[in-house]
Amino acid sequence: MNEYKFLTTASRPTPRNAAAPLVRPLAPKGFNMRREERTIPSEEILLKAMELAWKDHHHARDQTWKTVQMVAVLGAGLLTIDLQYKSLLATALAALLVVLASAVGVGITWNHRKLERRKFIHLMNCEELLGLHRDDIIPLACNDDSMKNKSDLVKDSAVSVPKKYKFIDVINPFKQNTSLFILRIHLAIMVFALLIIFLRWRIT
């Protein structure tokens, strides 16, 4: 099985209208809560939770793209300032702004990736409680040998939580996803800004 694990102690959930409760794990130390039994949330509540999770995900992704667009505009402005004023000081100040904006963009993208993982875990928990994790509806991707016996249709449609990545993955061409692509854009703009100020310094 992949790294995703259903957050109840049951390996598979009871059907959504069943009366049997699920036992939640102990709350983290410090919250002064005891182990208790809670019934499965209603289908309406689960669907609303999924809707909110998707909204949070899309809002974060929209902010991520707007950030990289803003940094790209600043990069274009840096080139304009350098060509217009031909001043090392003006170019250096503009380049510093671009580098700082790119660094902030990297941080935003990194945090939004963590948010994306959290929201997909929430979504998959809700799907599990709704009984949707079946090979004929929403199959789960597994790391064990069980997937070898599945049809190609099931393999292609299997879902999993977005994987964690390290910062070194940004320069790994074999790692491909939207977040890494955006991080690479930020770093490319940062290198571009440093190159512009270096060339202006050499010319001056």
What does the pLDDT read at residue 119?
97
Q: For residues 180 and 30, which has the higher predicted lDDT (pLDDT)?
A: 180
The pLDDT confidence band at residue 171, using thresholds 50, 70 and 90, is very high
Q: Which residues of 3-16 are buried (b: 16+ CB within 10 A; e: fewer)?
A: ebebebeeeebbee
Answer whether residue 4 shows pLDDT above 60: no
Q: Convert the pLDDT of each residue in 82-109 to its tens digit.
A: 999 999 999 999 999 999 999 999 999 9
Distance of CA 81 to the CA centre of its chain: 35
- Please count the other Cβ atoms lying within 10 Å of the Cβ belonging to residue 177: 14
Contact by Cβ (8 Å): 127, 138: yes
Q: Convert the pLDDT of each residue in 24-59 to its tens digit.
A: 443 344 444 454 546 789 999 999 999 999 999 999
Answer whether residue 124 shows pLDDT above 50: yes
**HSE (CB half, 13 Å, CA atoms) of 152?**
0
Q: Measuring CA to CA, how many Å separate 197 from each of 2, 57, 80, 192, 201?
A: 47, 37, 13, 9, 6
Mean pLDDT for the stretch of residues 176-187: 96
The pLDDT confidence band at residue 2, using thresholds 50, 70 and 90, is low
The pLDDT confidence band at residue 23, using thresholds 50, 70 and 90, is very low
Which residues does residue 22 pair with via DSSP β-bridges, in sequence order? 38
**Alpha-carbon gap, residue 37 to 22, rounded angstroms:** 6
- Report percent pLDDT > 70 for the chain: 81
**HSE (CB half, 13 Å, CA atoms) of 67?**
24
Q: Is 152 helix (H, G, I), strand (E, B) or coil?
A: helix
**Alpha-carbon gap, residue 19 to 196, rounded angstroms:** 67
**Alpha-carbon gap, residue 105 to 179, rounded angstroms:** 11
Answer whether residue 186 shows pLDDT above 60: yes
Sign of the Cα pseudo-torsion (22, 23, 25, 26, in order): positive
* Single-letter residue type at 11: S
Answer whether residue 156 shows pLDDT above 80: yes
